[in-house]
Amino acid sequence: MRLLVLGGTGFVGRTVVDEARTRGHHVTVLNRGHRPAPAGVTALVADRTTPGGLTALDHGTWDAVVDTWSAAPYAVRDAAKALTGRAGHYTYVSSRSVYAGGGPVPLTEDAPVVDASPDAGDDVEFSAPMAYAAAKRGGELAAQQSFDGPVLLARAGLILGPHEDIGRLPWWLNRLAKGGPTLAPGPRDLPLQYIDARDLAAFVLDAAAAGRSGPYNVVSESGHTTMGELLETAAEITGGRAELRWTEPDAILAAGIAQWTELPIWLAPGFDHSFMHGGDVSRAIAAGLRPRPVRETVADTWAWLQSIGGTPPHRPDRPPVGLDPAREAELLF
């Protein structure tokens, strides 16, 4: 395929580029040039949010487009309009955050979604959780309404794997590598649902080649792994120096430790956990989604992290994650 990736140098976009190059596709990336483009691609440097920022695309044609935009939806709208007639398929990498919640779990692709506008601009703040949901839903609407062709909505959930730039799994790996008594948020058998970015990339490319359209929940099945298996596997792979001390959710929350941010990946049993880790993925599985074992995700992320000196890149639009050692010690001792 001739593939256009809007972005392509961060986490998910870069992983899509790597998978596409492995398959022998010709890849073009369009981004602001803040990070170097992967080797072997045609790199176009432009800011899609500025007047004339899409003119770099005026003379190309592509079989498929992958768009990972996470901010104001108008940027998706304008790109989809500009590419109508010059691209055969459009994938918007969205999020399961678009679901309004409150419906029965597991949530299917037909569950109610949040209200949003495809025309929302930079005057709207999209960093808060609910605003992020509106940004992603607005991006979905923008792609569907502005692109005259099949549009795939890849509703990902928790995304892990090499090149992660939010820092959730990298934080755990670095913490476990340090060793010693380590706060392990329970229950140990808490089911997790996530997607390795490489499996997301493979699904997106396969779906584009097949001309698939509409929404897909692109995560593993709920319980693909557990909090226990994740942390025990990570502790082993990082050297076996950590002493996991499983702690009940009530004790963690009573200590004022924030789930998801101070303890990345973890959500206490309840609504938030059911929402994040209780998605129905039968449609994506039937369409070919094949999540890899958690051990492979952990081992490859640790190898990548070591290769760059242990400090992962961090997206400037996301807050840092991780628990201060002093706060961890207060609860453990």
Residues 260-317 pLDDT 10s: 999 999 999 999 999 999 999 999 999 999 999 999 999 999 999 999 999 999 888 8
Output DSSP code: residue 212. -
3-state secondary structure of 284: helix
User: Looking at residue 155, what is its pLDDT?
Assistant: 98
Q: Averaged over 67-86, what is the pLDDT?
A: 96
> Dihedrals φ, ψ of 298, to 5°?
-65, -50
With beta carbons less than 8 A apart as the criterion, state whether 72 and 121 touch.
yes
**DSSP 8-state class, residue 216:** E
User: What share of the chain in percent tops pLDDT 90?
Assistant: 90
pLDDT of residue 127: 53
Does residue 214 have a pLDDT over 80?
Answer: yes
pLDDT of residue 106: 86
| 3-class SS of residue 288 | coil
Element (H, E) at 5: strand 2-6
pLDDT band with cut points at 50, 70 and 90 for residue 219:
very high
- Partners of 155 in the β-ladder: 94, 217
Two tokens at 52?
Answer: 């004339």
Whether 257 has a pLDDT exceeding 90, the answer reads yes
pLDDT tens, 102-145? 777 889 999 999 999 999 987 666 556 668 999 999 999 999 99
- Burial level of 320, CB count in 10 A (0-12/13-18/19+)? exposed
User: Average pLDDT in the 232-237 region?
Assistant: 98
CB 9 within 8 A of CB 69: no
Please give the pLDDT value at position 121. Answer: 82
What does the DSSP 8-state code read for residue 257?
P
Least confident of 175-179, 193-197, 273-277, 292-296: 273-277
Say which CATH architecture domain 2-156 belongs to: 3-Layer(aba) Sandwich (3.40)
Q: How many CB atoms lie within 10 A of CB 74?
A: 22
Cα gap 166→58, rounded to integer Å: 33
For residue 10, the 8-state DSSP code is S
Q: What DSSP string describes 155-193? A: EE-EEESTT-SS-HHHHHHHHHHH-EEEEEES-TT-EE-
pLDDT of residue 125: 60
Q: Categorize the per-residue pLDDT at 101 as very low, low, confident or very high, splitting at 50, 70 and 90.
A: confident
**Rounded to an integer, what distance in angstroms lies between the CA atom of residue 257 and that of residue 276?**
19
Beta-sheet strand order (sheet of 64-67): 42-45, 26-31, 2-6, 64-67, 90-95, 151-156, 214-218
Residue pair 205/24 in contact (Cβ under 8 Å)? The answer is no
Rounded average pLDDT over 169-186:
98
- What are the residue boundaries of the structural domains of the chain, listed by start? 2-156, 165-192+224-277+293-332
- Among residues 189, 209, 161, the alpha carbon closest in space to that of 62 is found at 209
Q: In this structure, what token pair is assigned to residue 173? A: 């790996």
Percent of the chain with pLDDT over 70: 97
Q: What is the reported pTM?
A: 0.96
Three-state DSSP at 238 gives coil
Mean pLDDT of 235-259: 98
Tokens coding 206: 């396969």
The whole-chain average pLDDT of the chain stands at 95
| Confidence (pLDDT) at 282 | 97
Q: In whole angstroms, what is the distance from residue 325 CA to residue 266 CA? A: 17
Residue 128 confidence (pLDDT)? 60
